[in-house]
Amino acid sequence: MWPRLRRPWTIALAPSRKVAIGAATCVALTLVTGAQYLPARLQLREGWVSPRDVTASRTVEFVDRARTEALRRAAAESIQPVYRRSAGEITHAQDVIAQTVAAVERARRGGGLSYTERRVLLSRESPIPLDDPAALAALTVDAAALALARTTAERVVTASMDAGIKPEELPRAQMQARVAIRALQLSGRTMTLASALVQGALGPNITIDVAETQRLQQRAAESVEPVTTRILRGEIVVRRGEVVTEAHMQKLAALGLVRAPFSWQRPLGVALIVVLVVAMSFAYMRQYHPDIWAEDRLLLVWSLAVVLTVGLARALVAQVNPYAIPLAAGAVLIAVLLRPRLALYTAAVISMLVATVVGADIRLGLVTFIGSSVGVYAIKRIVHRTDLMLAGAWVGGANAVCVLALNLMDQLPWYPDIATDAIYGSANGVIVGVIAIGTLPYLEQLFGLVTPIKLLELSNPSHPLLRRMQVEAAGTYHHSLIVANLAEAAADAIGADSLLVRVGAYYHDVGKLRRPVFFVENQAGVENPHEKMAPSLSALTLLSHVRDGLELAREYGLPSAVADFIPQHHGTNLITYFYHQALQRGDAVSEEGFRYEGPKPQSREAAVVMLADAVEGATRALPKPTPDRIEQTARRIIRDKLDDGQLNESNLSFRDLDVIARTFSRLLATMFHPRIEYPELERDLRAGQRDRAPVR
């Protein structure tokens, strides 16, 4: 029974209208949610003197970034470097010694060269730089001494590096190697050369594993729990005249009282999130609520509900207790005006955006979603407008329980935090009910919507227009009740909006109030005026009841969704009786002059009322309405309407038509049950039926 739309199956207006609504929604939500990232009008910065006392309006717990980072740095620095032994460094050192000795031998073979030239050649080819004493020893010792210097250097280097040398231990290792060589008591030049070879080849073979060390340091830093600081409601964060410190700035930022310097990145991120949310929402409505997607004004209703709700959060979150803001009102109104399923989705959207508004505070978003969901569920039981207060009470109860649970998880004190927040959450529900009751009539009027509550009010027999029908056109009123029963049952059977069908059937013939005696159901004991009128004039009288009905609908303020049944239940039907009568008289007639102006039924609901109206009238005229004859008549009437094109714009399927025919037949068979025949009464009734035209 949700929603009541004026034309639920009409094709949407120009796509540009939907694009414009979506773009406007994105811009509005971006401005609302991104406002916290705009530069503040009054900024406090570290080192400034506070111009006033700043008091916390709510209890907030935040991460102390400075203390947390200091502890994490200390944890990382406490990790000792991880070392790795390089197996190839010893071989590399021995290769360097061998290459140096080979360079010495090549320089020694240059017999035609002077010492200076051989010294230059050795300096150029030796991988180990040799100072002058070492070079002199290398070029002047005999071959045996050179070989001894080489083997000595290799043994000392191998022994030193087998023990492992870290980079910071290299000077000590070099000193120990020199001591070891002196202990061998070699000749002076041999010892000098061996020592030079060792000093040049010796190097660290235990190095720091940078990647592993950084990994362990990062793990140690991450293992440090964030240091949190709690600001209690009413606490003075910074006093007037006090110099603002870094600790003050962190507290003010946590409360949303100061903002970081403007950066385009944050607003851009907010805009992207908003565009994604709106695009997903429009896609959701297009896929799962095509009737709402087809109506631009309904998209506008949805957009306004979301924007105004999030805007309310933005405006009040820093001024009052956040749990007192009636954020469930948006979803509750969507449930009443559109559909509960869409309202549940909308509750999730609003909750996400509200959490963004208050600085990613998942608690307020969670309370908003739970309260809204409970309110949407409670809407299903609403019959009167005052029942919206009951839905508000459900919202308040859900809010209180959710706030209580969250505050217990945060280990807040019972007073003032837990008790105060629970009271505010409960009061929130009352405010939601008041807002829903107060705004609903204006929204119905502004957007041309009709809610279940409005329909139930219109179905009350005490409604002034229905009271007039009961008094001035009792036959039409009785006929409308029968049509309503038939149409409602058929609508239920095919899954159409049965409440809208019932109310539409109540008012479909209100135009007959202007001239009730001209319609057969109101002619009991009265001469039929059509017997003295030309067929064209009679047809004009019948045609005028549609226009009269629309005028009465406007006069009594009937919603357009109900008033549409007045012209659509006739469509462009031909007034067959008077048209054929005019042809028999030989009048020059045009078929158009005997047809209703329409439009044809634009919805399944209007089509069901058209069929119920026609089938009820035809069945009442049957002399012996047996079940078989009733079903044959119902199917013939439906087939005639189909052949005449009256159902082309109604979106009814052939299966729907079969279900409707069977439903009509079943109900009418119980209404026109067999009666005891009284011959004289039957003869009089048949005579009366022949005398009166079946005018409807």
> Do 566 and 433 share a structural domain?
no
Spell out the residues 6+ positions from residue 455 whose beta carbon is closer than 8 angstroms to its own: 4, 499, 500, 503, 562
**R_g (Cα) of the chain, nearest Å:** 47
Using the predicted structure, report yes or no on whether residue 436 has a pLDDT greater than 50.
yes
pLDDT for 138: 82
Confidence of residue 7 (pLDDT cuts 50, 70, 90): very low
Q: Are the C-beta atoms of 270 and 36 separated by less than 8 Å?
A: no
Supply φ then ψ for residue 185, to 5 degrees: 55, 50
When pLDDT is cut at 50, 70 and 90, the band that residue 664 belongs to is: very high
Q: How confident is the model at residue 692 (pLDDT cuts 50, 70, 90)?
A: very low
Q: Do both 27 and 111 map to the same domain? A: no
- My answer on whether omega of the bond before 441 falls inside 30° of 0, hence cis, is no
Lowest mean pLDDT among 28-32, 42-46, 191-195, 441-445: 42-46
- Asked if 512 and 473 sit in the same domain, the reply is yes
Percent of the chain with pLDDT over 90: 31
CATH number of 615's domain: 1.10.3210
Residue pLDDT, tens place only, 353-382: 988 877 656 888 899 999 999 999 988 767
Q: How many domains does the chain have?
A: 3
Asked if residue 509 and residue 599 are part of one domain, the reply reads yes
Residues 361 and 481 in one domain: no
Cβ-proximal residues to 343 (8 Å cutoff; 6+ apart), any chain? 331, 332, 334, 335, 372, 376, 379
* Calpha distance 53→240 (Å, rounded): 5
Inform me whether the pLDDT recorded for 428 exceeds 80.
Answer: yes
- 441 and 340 in a common domain: yes
Q: Domain for residue 310, yes or no? A: yes
> Is 652 a member of any domain?
yes
Are 28 and 119 in a shared domain?
Answer: no
Span 44-73, pLDDT tens digits: 778 888 888 887 766 778 888 888 888 889
Q: Residue 361: its pLDDT value, please?
A: 66
Q: How confident is the model at residue 637 (pLDDT cuts 50, 70, 90)?
A: very high
Q: Does some domain include residue 140?
A: yes
pLDDT band at 634 (very low <50, low <70, confident <90, very high): very high
688 has pLDDT over 60: no
Query: Alpha helix locations (H) across 328-451?
Result: 329-337, 340-357, 362-379, 387-409, 419-447
Among the candidates 188, 208, 228, a domain finishes at 208
The per-residue pLDDT of the chain, averaged, comes to 84
> What phi and psi values does residue 228 have, to the nearest 5 degrees?
-105, 145
Q: Comparing 656 with 689, which gets the higher pLDDT?
A: 656
User: Domain limits at 169?
Assistant: 83-208
CATH at 289: 1.10.1760
Residues 444 and 506 in one domain: no
**Predicted local distance difference test score (pLDDT) of residue 2:** 44
450 with 467, same domain?
A: no
Residues near 165 by beta carbon (within 8 Å), at least 6 away in sequence:
173, 202, 203, 204, 205, 206
**pLDDT 10s digits, 173-187:** 888 888 888 888 788
The one-character DSSP state at 4 is: B
For 112-124, write each residue's pLDDT tens digit.
Answer: 788 888 888 888 8
Looking at the fold, whether 655 and 511 belong to one and the same domain comes out as yes
Does one domain contain both 436 and 314?
yes
The verdict on residue 33 lying in a domain is yes
Residues making up the chain, counted from first to last? 696
Q: Is 624 left (phi over 0), alpha (psi -120 to 50) or beta?
A: beta
Task: Report how far residue 216's alpha carbon sits from residue 71's, in angstroms, rounded to the nearest whole number.
Answer: 15
pLDDT in the model for residue 37: 63
Which letter, b or e, does each residue of 204-230 get, where b requires 16 or more Cβ atoms within 10 Å of its Cβ? bbbeeeeeebeebbeebbeebeeeeee
Whether 236 is in a domain gets the answer no
pTM: 0.60
In a domain, 4, yes or no: no
* Inside any domain, residue 44: no
Taking residues 16-28, what's their average pLDDT? 91
- Which of 159, 192, 208 is the last residue before a domain boundary? 208
